[in-house]
Amino acid sequence: MNPGIALRLCTQKRLARLALWLAFAVAPWAFAQSDSDFLAAKDAYEHGDRRRLDLVAPKLANHVLAPYVEYWQLRLGIDTADADAVRAFLTRYPNTPLADRLRVDWLKALGKRGDWARFAFDYPPATGEDVELTCYGIQFRRSRDGGESALIAAKALWFSGATTPEACDPLFAALVANGQLTVDDRRARARLAVEAGNLRLAEAISADLPPDARITLREFAAVERDPLRALTKGEFAWKTRGGQDLALYALERAARKDAAQARAAWIKWRDRLPAADRQYGNGRVAYYAARQLLPEADTWYREAAPAQLTPEQKAWRVRAALRAQSWPAVLAAIDDLSDADRQESAWRYWRARALASTGATAEAQAVYETMATDASFYGLLAAEALGRGATQLETLTANPAQPNADLLAAFGRRPEVQRVVKLAELDLRPESLREWIYIVRGLDDDALLLAAEYARRVELYDRAINTAERTATRHNYGLRYLAPFREQFAAAARDQGVDEELLYGIARQESRFVPDIVSSAGAVGVMQLMPHTARWVAKQLAQSDYTPAMIINVDTNARFGAFYFKYWQDRLERLPALAAAAYNAGPVRAQQWRPAAPVEGAIWVETIPFNETRDYVKKVLANTMLYAHAFGHPYVPLSDRLGVVPPRTTCCAMAAQSP
């Protein structure tokens, strides 16, 4: 769906939203301002046309979004901007996303040309900095203080699998020149780059190493053509550091595709490597085996040195033990996580389960008690483990706070709030979101709930939900779990035979109920349907009058989304978790992720290989529980909704039916 089509189709809704906004806050002169001039200014900025931007800017001096026009003018001339003009803007619009962005832009421009005197005046920024600005900051301190002490901070930036900005290059060169970045440090970063799939960086680092540690582009290319074949042949220069690293590179690339075959080739040669490298390779094989849901992963992890495992590898060590339903191994793997990681709700819950399964019932109950006041996926499961799932939902949702009408009106009159609504009206969603984040950061619970209620009333449902979720102790679950478009969703659920709470659980996670949202991938509307999926659904429903423009309509979108979800739920054992995974990642993947033997639904969810889909399924099912309660539907435990996931069936027949 073309975003322009979506914008035109939503004109009426945006006018209604604007009317609500006007009722709260907007001064009479707002109607006289020209949004078309503002959009023309934005177009000029995006095309780098300073002359056209300067021509239209005077017409917008009193527009609610005038700060954006000023920012664009300064940003296009940032390399030659006057310091007083920049600082005047920062003074006029403090604590705004535009001011913080301009400050960072300004500092980078100064750092690029080495103007450290002016750089010192505005550095550091108030809200943090990215890697590029951090490197300019180190360059500045090195220039100011002399000596090499400032370089110590740069070394920490070296150990990343990501490509770093050019601003860091002179610092890294200095570290290499003075010996603070050793050959082994450089090899370590090349290894990180390989793990991250950043092959260009790995090649660039390796090509610049001493002969004994160097891997040529030709050697990289030979392995890349067929990593498993290269690993099977084992024709590496095993006695050189470069040959050893090339063998590990072949292992990484082969295991990423097929861990079982990679391991079969690897075990023939691994004893030729030093012990540390051998254990590192064992860990990478076990990690990919766990991600590929191989039953042997739990056993293979025992060949790796835990101290060498990354946090991600350690997390998958827990999941491999879960999939094997080896509770002592689950407990040991969780205990090996960092202190911070052990506090994540997933690992607290599974630690309690492991304790209960190994006889430490009282200790398990104590852990459940610390979690049961949370409405998250694992908080709800913990409450059920204590036997109070239904009563806990009653407690969580009781007595929501109510905002004051006068305070709501005052909130709506704030210029930054008016910018949020106007930006949303003009379909400038990222800018609107940034403004809102600045408005609500640091607010106490009462102020957050006031802001959330205002957002609900002007139909910025995503802002309302996200803001209500930020409260610490005083909550309003009616705002957290908004249920707009009730008539359309109820009809879709009834007509397609889907639980209404499930549809709401999906829509809340997919779109936060923004009707005209279009994702970067092209998914459209409240249920985030891809255009080709919508065409397929229209065909299944024999809707001959369907046109692509109809997908943005909430009624059509909800109905099509309900049909699509139900279609796969019926083909995936009627298990909501499997169907939600299919909705997010595709039905073939959901089928491929099923176990070789039956497994508890919660374990299946925690071992979904895609981080995004795993998080998505958890949130959809937790949402479903809250919506079912809000709608007064009979209580069905989350553990019952999860059920038991049976072994996989034939995926290929299903794939052929997929839209």
380 domain-assigned? no
Number of domains in the chain: 3
Residue 19 clears pLDDT 70, i.e. is over it? no
Q: How confident is the model at residue 657 (pLDDT cuts 50, 70, 90)?
A: low
CA distance 331 to 358: 9
Q: What pTM was estimated for this model as a whole?
A: 0.92
CA dist list (Å): 246 to 159, 181, 185, 348, 457: 19, 21, 16, 39, 60
Q: Is a pLDDT exceeding 50 seen at residue 651?
A: no
Q: How confident is the model at residue 307 (pLDDT cuts 50, 70, 90)?
A: confident
- Structure tokens, 470: 């930020």
Please give the average per-residue pLDDT across 314-339, as a whole number: 97
Same domain, 199 and 325: yes
For 344-365, write each residue's pLDDT tens digit: 999 999 999 999 999 999 999 9
Which structural domain range is residue 575 located in?
486-657
Could you report the per-residue pLDDT of 487-541, keeping only the tens digit for each? Answer: 999 999 999 999 999 999 999 999 999 999 999 899 999 999 999 999 999 999 9
pLDDT for position 20: 42
Same domain, 141 and 262: no
pLDDT in tens, 33-71: 589 999 999 999 999 999 999 999 999 999 999 999 999
155 with 131, same domain: the answer is: no
For 413-419, the CB contacts below 8 A with 24+ separation are 413/24, 413/25, 414/25, 414/439, 415/64, 416/96, 417/25, 417/454, 418/21, 418/25, 418/26, 418/64, 419/64, 419/65, 419/67
Same domain, 132 and 180: no
Give the domain-ending residue among 311, 337, 363.
Answer: 337
Is position 378 within any domain?
no
User: Do 86 and 189 sit in the same domain of this protein?
Assistant: no
Three-class secondary structure of residue 112 per DSSP: helix
CA distance 49 to 526: 36
Cα radius of gyration (the chain): 28
Give the CATH number for residue 54.
Answer: 1.25.40
From residue 318, alpha-carbon distances to 262, 348, 592, 597 in Å are 22, 12, 21, 19
Q: Is residue 45 a contact partner of residue 68, using CB atoms and an 8 Å limit?
A: no
Residues 180 and 133 in one domain: no
Final residue in a domain of this structure, among 129, 145, 161: 145
Q: Mean pLDDT throughout 240-265?
A: 98
Tokens 């040529």 locate to 216
Q: Which helix (H) or strand (E) holds 644?
A: strand 644-645
Evaluate whether residue 445 is within a structural domain: no
Tokens found for residue 294: 């191989």
Domain presence at residue 399: no
Average pLDDT over residues 89-113: 96
Does residue 14 surpass a pLDDT of 80? no
Chain segment 492-506, per-residue pLDDT in tens: 999 999 999 999 999
Q: Say what the pLDDT of residue 471 is.
A: 95
Report the sign of the C-alpha dihedral through residues 585, 590, 591, 595, in that order.
Answer: positive
Nearest to 522 by CA among 535, 512, 513, 532: 532
State the Cα–Cα distance between residues 291 and 116, nearest whole angstrom.
Answer: 48
Candidates 387, 396, 630, 398; CA nearest to 505 is 630
Q: Burial of 135 by CB count in 10 Å (0-12 exposed, 13-18 middle, 19+ buried)? A: buried
Does residue 166 fall inside a structural domain? yes
Q: Which of 139-153, 453-467, 595-609, 623-637 has the lowest mean pLDDT?
A: 139-153
Q: Report the pLDDT value the prediction gives residue 658, as an integer from 0 to 100.
A: 56
Reported as a pLDDT band with limits 50, 70 and 90, residue 123 is very high
To 10 degrees, what angle do helices 131-145 and 97-112 make?
50
159 and 192 co-located in one domain: yes
**Predicted pLDDT at 587:** 95
For residue 653, is pLDDT > 60? no
164 shares a domain with 74:
no
State pLDDT tens for residues 610-622: 999 999 999 999 9
Residue 426's φ and ψ, nearest 5 degrees, are -90, 10
- Is the pLDDT at 78 greater than 80? The verdict is yes
How many beta carbons lie within 10 A of that of residue 156, not counting itself? 9
Lowest mean pLDDT among 6-10, 148-152, 568-572: 6-10
Question: What is the pLDDT, as a whole number, of residue 2?
Answer: 42
pLDDT of residue 648: 80
Better-scored residue on pLDDT, 627 or 127 = 627
Q: Are residues 115 and 213 in the same domain?
A: no
Same domain? For 651 and 605 the reply is: yes
Give the pLDDT of residue 150: 87
Specify if 480 maps to a domain: no
70 within a domain of the structure (yes/no): yes
Domain boundary among 114, 145, 176: 145
* Interval 620-638 mean pLDDT: 97
pLDDT digits (tens, 9 = 90+) for 385-408: 999 999 999 988 887 777 889 999
* Confidence band, pLDDT 50/70/90 cuts, at residue 475: very high
The verdict on residue 221 lying in a domain is: yes
Query: What's the rounded Cα separation, in Å, for the pair 135 and 150?
Result: 10
Predicted local distance difference test score (pLDDT) of residue 148: 78
Residue 659: band (very low, low, confident or very high) from pLDDT cuts 50, 70, 90: low
% pLDDT > 90, the chain: 89
Tell whether 190 and 296 lie within a shared domain.
Answer: yes
Judged against a pLDDT cut of 90, whether residue 431 lies above it is answered with yes
Q: What percent of the chain has pLDDT over 70?
A: 93
Verify that 212 and 197 share a domain, yes or no. Answer: yes
pLDDT of residue 15 exceeding 50, the answer is: no
pLDDT tens for each residue of 81-98: 999 999 999 999 999 999
Q: Which residues are the active-site residues?
A: 510
What is the residue type of 209?
L
